[in-house]
Amino acid sequence: MSFVEFDSFYKEEHPCSTVFLSANKYIRKMKGGSQSILVQCDDDRFYVVKMAGNPQGPNVVANEFLGSVIAGAVGLPVAESMVIHLSDHFIDSEPDIWFELPSGRKRPDAGLHFGSLLVGQPSGPQRPSEYISPSRINSIANRDAFLGMYILDVWANHQDNRQAVLLRRSDDNAQEAFFIDHGHMFGGPDWNFRERPGAALHLESSVYSELWHDEVVSSWISHFRTVLPEVLSWVTSILPARWYNGDLRSLMEGLIHRLSNLTELVQKDATRSRQFAYQNSENDALRLSDSGIHKLRTPDTRSAFYRDLAVSYAKFIHSDRVCFAKLGS
Ligand SMILES: Nc1ncnc2c1ncn2[C@@H]1O[C@H](COP(=O)(O)OP(=O)(O)OP(=O)(O)O)[C@@H](O)[C@H]1O
Ligand SMILES: [Mg+2]
């Protein structure tokens, strides 16, 4: 199946085209190693697009997709993800879209790319910020999510510092955090697990202040053990093949294995990074039990949303002999 065939299929306004968006306006280039771009799509909303083939490495776009869908599915606040089509016409209309490499400029391929729904607006009072002020951490309404995200990141062997953007709520002036940049989860661009204690923590360590409670940590781990096996099984079925070149099956096996010893992984990472030690009465060793599963405050509703999305993709794949996995390959 060639990409041209997909293109004509797409233009026929097949019902499944609603699961993809097209970029129709270039806004600006974003900072950072992946050289992402801010675009406006045909739903009028703004997306930070990480393009396939970007200089950060072979599997980063797959990681972005897996990381955001998985984190959303377990109830963590992430910027929503979307599959975005960039046409040849769009790419050719704006020279800034090209990658800048040491060897020169490189044109991204037209086709499907990863989009992260912009939190807030590109300008004005609703422009998001990445700055976390230590004196204002308690104004982050959903700050407890940083502990859940840390545990998910340890499981996913995130090789980079956790990033979040904050959006100020107009009604009560509180801030809300949304996690972004999952490109170095899953052992990084080469899908190679290696333990680097503390690597996945947010650089502003005060954001974790007083969050650690053994029973909350145990609750997150139990929740992940319950939800993640099913999430992994459907999220991999909707991952575009052109976004990765690693061994997806062995990545999934590794992740399932890490789920079985997540308590030890978290205990080790937290102890060695010493991030949470001062918050724990035991001080020299964190002791997590598997009991004391408390009711999570995190909603699980997004899991159903993403599962429905997966069902749409699956129908799309099977109904028209168009294999999503082969698109663009
Ligand atoms: N969904 C989003 N909403 C708002 N801002 C975003 C979103 N996604 C990314 N950004 C902004 O775009 C910038 C680049 O994104 P990101 O960190 O994912 O790219 P990167 O290439 O990995 O960057 P770096 O190499 O600096 O980590 C972020 O610093 C953030 O300010
Ligand atoms: Mg980043």
Residue whose structure tokens are 């991204």: 108
Ligand 1: centre distance to CA 114 (Å) = 12
Rounded mean pLDDT, 35-63: 97
Q: Confidence class of residue 309 from pLDDT cuts 50, 70 and 90?
A: low
Ligand with smallest separation from the Cα of 180:
1
Ligand 2: centre distance to CA 285 (Å) = 32
Residue 301 has pLDDT above 90, yes or no: no
Q: Say yes or no: CB of residue 32 within 6 Å of ligand 1.
A: yes
Q: With contact defined as beta carbons under 8 Å apart, do 172 and 71 qualify?
A: no
In 162-222, at which residue ranges do the beta strands (DSSP E only) sit?
A: 163-168, 175-180
Ligand 1: centre distance to CA 32 (Å) = 7
**Regarding predicted confidence, which is higher, 158 or 300?**
158
Rounded mean pLDDT, 4-12: 32
Rounded mean pLDDT, 231-254: 94
Q: Say yes or no: CB of residue 163 within 6 Å of ligand 1.
A: yes
Tens digits of per-residue pLDDT, 166-192? 999 988 989 999 999 999 999 999 999
Ligand 1: centre distance to CA 57 (Å) = 16
Task: Output the pLDDT for position 201.
Answer: 97
Task: Output the pLDDT for position 204.
Answer: 97
Torsion region of 13: left, alpha or beta (phi above 0 gives left; psi -120 to 50 gives alpha): left
Ligand with smallest separation from the Cα of 116:
1
Q: Rounded to the nearest 5 degrees, what angle is found at the Cα of 305, between the Cα atoms of 314 and 180?
A: 105
- The percent of residues in the chain predicted with pLDDT above 90, rounded, is 74
Residue 228 has pLDDT above 60, yes or no: yes
Instruction: Kindly report the length of the chain.
Output: 329
Task: Output the pLDDT for position 133.
Answer: 95
Task: Output the pLDDT for position 170.
Answer: 86
Task: Write out the residue limits of the CATH 1.10.1070 domain(s) in the chain.
Answer: 134-298
Residue 289 has pLDDT above 70, yes or no: no
Q: With contact defined as beta carbons under 8 Å apart, do 148 and 76 qualify?
A: yes
Q: For 48-116, what is the HEC assignment?
A: EEECCCCCCCCCHHHHHHHHHHHHHHCCCCECCEEEEEECHHHHHCCHHHCEEECCEEECCCCEEEEEE
Rounded mean pLDDT, 146-171: 97
Q: Say yes or no: CB of residue 119 within 6 Å of ligand 1.
A: yes
Rounded mean pLDDT, 38-60: 96
Alpha-carbon distances, residue 33 vs 29, 57, 132, 242, 293 (angstroms):
11, 10, 21, 20, 40
Q: Confidence class of residue 275 from pLDDT cuts 50, 70 and 90?
A: confident
| Alpha carbon distance 209, 291 (integer Å) | 24
CATH class assigned to 134-298: mainly alpha
